[in-house]
Amino acid sequence: MSTQTPTRKWWALALIAAAQFMVIMDTSIIGIALPQMQNDLGFTQQNLTWVFNAYVIAFGGLLLLGGRLSDLFGARRVFGAGWLILLIGSITAGAAGNVAIELTGRAVQGAGAALIAPSALTLLMMLFGGSPKELTKALSIYGAAAPAGGTAGVFFGGVITEYISWPWVFYINIPIAVIALLAIPAVMPNVPTRSGSIDVLGAITVTAGLGTAVYAVVRAPEVVWASGQTWAGLAAAAGLLAAFVLIQAKRQTPLMRLGIFTAPNLAVANVAQLLLGAAWIPMWFFLNLYLQQVLGYSAFPAGAALLPMTVLIMLCMIVVAPRAMVRFGAKPMIVSGLVVLAAGLAWLSLVRPTGNFWIDVLPASLVAAVGMSLAFIPSLGTAISAARPEEGGLASGIVNVSYQVGSAVGLAAMTAVAAAAGANQLGNTVELTDGFSAAFLGASAIAIAGAAITAVAMRTPKTTKAQVREPVSAA
């Protein structure tokens, strides 16, 4: 429990939410800038997606290590280190003059994000874990920052690309990172270090395993899913992750205590987050392409078109979701949210080559936004509060891994679906629309799968509120 003054606590929450906003925004802000980056840096159509993938692979692969470092060295220290690394990566990516340096900068950004994300959640639990009412409010604000950051990134990317130049989609991080580094000592609690060692071999195997798995999946649309290269990558990833599990089972101080998954509902909540990311990220990715490549929007209008969805997400997460969580509990919220998200995505699959924003985009995107809002907070809260207090950083790392890996795998899978249905036929609006429609329908199926798994596997406690509150109160 934090002993900070109320004012400092809420300023600290503002910084934590800003961190989450930035970490997720960095995955989406580059979307509209990609064509200009392709022209200036020499990317091919096939390797252009690696501007996104390099960030996500480093982010997802290093999150467990980031969570462990947060537990050992103190969340405040790791939080600051993450901002510094993100700053370095942003400068590198913005100043890049070729493909290799650009991807290096994006990977460094991802490494910084992997330190920021779990330590931010650990700090949030430390500041607000002693008060269930405050925790619910804090999680709502934090939760709203994630999808809002993803959607707002598209908007800011459009503004920057249209009116400035693409390097500023990275340079925008610099002043924010400097402000964060100056503010951390003033508002964040000083978290003591803990005894323990870093499981170096475990860190190497899990980072390599997750990175290889995501690499194999995101590259599969380029080299064909049934190719030997894809299966070799997946087999290597499976071997590395199996080695990681064996190492964790034998070590006295593992990177990830395997017993953490015996905590009630922790595993199923992480599956819900994984499938939520796998459905949501393809939606905004292909919706942005539909707006630009089919409806003919330029960068700024395409970004502005997603603002209503962003505003609704923030309102629902901050105002509606916390009250509904108290009344209905986590399981009904996650299931209903995923079902509503699936309905919105299925509606989006009806987009037309001759469509328009008001009929084909706005209504369905708002329905999808409501579904995301309802499911995100309960699944996140369940995943991080089920663990023991001293494993808060680890639990935060695991749930971030789930969402990021789900996002990368879902986008790769839906990219393959879209391409097979015609989305690789640039200039042919009918074929493009068919491809995007198939991707929306596939994402809808992912959301339905998440709802079904949650409905079957998640246990409902006798007192619904206890699902999130009891473990947190112990902190």
Listed residue (132, 390, 396) closest to 273, CA to CA: 396
Asked if 48 contacts 166 with a C-beta cutoff of 8 angstroms, the reply is: no
Angle in degrees, CA 44, 46, 52, rounded to 5? 95
Write out the two tokens for 218: 């995101």
- The percent of residues above 70 in pLDDT, for the chain, comes to 94
Domain 6-188+257-473 has CATH 1.20.1250.20: yes
Please state, in angstroms and as integers, the Cα–Cα distance from residue 322 to each residue in 137, 169, 276, 447, following that order: 7, 33, 19, 21
Write out the two tokens for 328: 């209905």
Per-residue pLDDT band for 464 (boundaries 50, 70, 90) equals very low
Tell me the backbone φ, ψ of residue 251, rounded to 5 degrees: -80, 145
Write out the two tokens for 265: 């509902």
- Give the position of tokens 């080559």: 353
Average pLDDT over residues 160-186: 92
Residue type, 221: P
Asked if 344 contacts 371 with a C-beta cutoff of 8 angstroms, the reply is: yes
331 has a pLDDT exceeding 90? yes
The residue with greater pLDDT, 239 or 426, is: 239
Write out the two tokens for 445: 């199926």
Write out the two tokens for 70: 């947060």
Asked if 127 contacts 4 with a C-beta cutoff of 8 angstroms, the reply is: yes
With the C-alpha atoms ordered 91, 92, 95, 99, is the resulting torsion angle positive or negative? negative
Which of the given ranges, 155-159, 305-309, 375-379, 434-438, has the highest pLDDT on average? 434-438
For the chain, the distance separating the N- and C-terminal CA atoms, rounded to the nearest angstrom, is: 6
Please state, in angstroms and as integers, the Cα–Cα distance from residue 385 to each residue in 217, 269, 399, 470, following that order: 31, 11, 11, 8
The residue with greater pLDDT, 53 or 180, is: 180
State how far Cα 393 lies from the chain centre.
16
The residue with greater pLDDT, 394 or 428, is: 428
DSSP 459: P
- pLDDT, one tens digit per residue, over 266-289 is 899 999 999 999 999 889 888 988
Angle in degrees, CA 447, 419, 365, rounded to 5? 40
Average pLDDT over residues 360-374: 95
The residue with greater pLDDT, 50 or 366, is: 366
- Look at residue 76 in the predicted model and tell me its pLDDT: 92
467 has a pLDDT exceeding 50? no
Average pLDDT across the chain, whole number: 85
> Which DSSP string corresponds to 175-219?
HHHHHHHHHHHHHS--PPP------HHHHHHHHHHHHHHHHHHHH
Report the distance separating Cα 248 and Cα 258, nearest Å: 7
The residue with greater pLDDT, 470 or 378, is: 378
Listed residue (179, 134, 162, 187) closest to 35, CA to CA: 162
Average pLDDT over residues 82-89: 97
Report the distance separating Cα 245 and Cα 247, nearest Å: 5
Per-residue pLDDT band for 468 (boundaries 50, 70, 90) equals very low
- The percent of residues above 90 in pLDDT, for the chain, comes to 38
- Look at residue 462 in the predicted model and tell me its pLDDT: 57
Asked if 156 contacts 172 with a C-beta cutoff of 8 angstroms, the reply is: yes
- pLDDT, one tens digit per residue, over 204-253 is 898 888 778 877 877 777 777 788 888 999 999 999 999 999 998 988 87
- pLDDT, one tens digit per residue, over 48-63 is 778 887 887 788 778 8
- Look at residue 463 in the predicted model and tell me its pLDDT: 47
Please state, in angstroms and as integers, the Cα–Cα distance from residue 41 to each residue in 103, 167, 200, following that order: 11, 11, 36
Residues 6+ apart with CB under 8 A from 223: 229, 230
Report the distance separating Cα 101 and Cα 93, nearest Å: 7
Report the distance separating Cα 80 and Cα 16, nearest Å: 11
Which of the given ranges, 53-62, 149-158, 195-204, 347-356, has the highest pLDDT on average? 347-356
Per-residue pLDDT band for 470 (boundaries 50, 70, 90) equals very low
Report the distance separating Cα 330 and Cα 254, nearest Å: 30
475 has a pLDDT exceeding 60? no
Average pLDDT over residues 106-114: 93
Per-residue pLDDT band for 4 (boundaries 50, 70, 90) equals low
Report the distance separating Cα 344 and Cα 154, nearest Å: 19
Average pLDDT over residues 418-446: 91
Asked if 146 contacts 376 with a C-beta cutoff of 8 angstroms, the reply is: yes
Residues 6+ apart with CB under 8 A from 284: 28, 150, 151, 154, 306
Give the dihedral of Cα atoms 435, 436, 437, 441; nearest 10 deg.
100
CATH 1.20.1250.20 in the chain, residue ranges: 6-188+257-473
- Look at residue 412 in the predicted model and tell me its pLDDT: 78
